Amino acid sequence: MTRKSGCLVALLIALLPTAALAQPASGDDATHDALRVLKQQMEDALNAQDLDGLLQHLHPDVSFTTMNNDVRVGKDAIRAYYDEMMNGPNKVVDRIQAKFEVDDLTRLYGDTGIARGSSRDHYVLTDGTDVVIHGRWTCTLVREGDRWMIAAFHYSTNVFDNPLLTRLKHLALAAVTVTGLGALVVGAVLGRRSRRRQAASGAQAS
């Protein structure tokens, strides 16, 4: 072996531990692939308004914190919330299309994983409101047997800058304007009646 080739072999041997550390473990690769599939299945089920498709990926004791700061625990509670918002006689949402993005790989702690990311949610409400909301989410997953399930999901949005808040401000301003105009009209009518009465009283006195 020449001196040059010997140095090359020594360099490769020295780099082997570093290269091995830089590669994710094969078990983690399989886990992340499974979690990507789970994320896509949840997104597809939500956009198809397939409630059963959503619930099958949830842990029985799942905890869900909604965008309106409601907390539902368990599959039955989440089904009730979904029906209330999207199916019942007083439903708020007519349809939704969501796109979820992850910030990075799920952080794994044995049989528990924590994922976080963003979402772009297109809502059409029953009153005709059509808005796109950019949200943030955090998801806790647990593995039971060979299945990963969602144990907790927390969703939030910017309370200072979002389309629904802007719409509420506009509605409030419109309500104040209508109320003010109504008060002016009532005041004018009452004033006219008062002047007529005063004029009639003056005529009778003379």
Tens-place pLDDT, residues 83-124: 998 888 888 889 999 999 999 999 999 999 999 999 999 989
Q: Across the chain, where does the E strand assignment appear?
A: 58-65, 71-73, 93-102, 107-109, 112-125, 130-144, 147-157
pLDDT at 29 over 80: yes
More confident residue, 163 or 143: 143
Q: How confident is the model at residue 19 (pLDDT cuts 50, 70, 90)?
A: very low
What gap in Å lies between CA 47 and CA 15, rounded to an integer?
47
Spans of all domains in the chain: 25-157, 159-191
Backbone angles phi, psi at 151, to 5 degrees: -100, -25
**Cβ contacts of residue 28 below 8 Å, gap of 6+?**
108
- Check residue 40 and give its pLDDT: 94
Cα gap 186→191, rounded to integer Å: 8
The pLDDT of residue 113: 97
Q: What's the chain's average pLDDT?
A: 76
pLDDT digits (tens, 9 = 90+) for 177-195: 333 444 444 454 445 555 5
103 to each of 23, 33, 115, 139, 193, how far by Cα in Å?
A: 20, 16, 8, 12, 68
- 114-154, pLDDT tens digit by residue? 999 999 999 898 888 888 989 999 999 999 998 999 999 99
Indicate whether 171 pLDDT > 70. Answer: no
Tell me what pLDDT residue 127 has. 87
Residue 138 to residue 154: CA distance in whole angstroms = 5
Look up tokens 């963003």; give the residue: 118
User: In angstroms, rounded to a whole number, what is the distance separating the alpha carbons of residues 131 and 125?
Assistant: 8
Return the CATH number of 25-157, one of 3.50.50.60, 3.40.50.10800, 3.30.70.20, 3.10.450.50.
Answer: 3.10.450.50
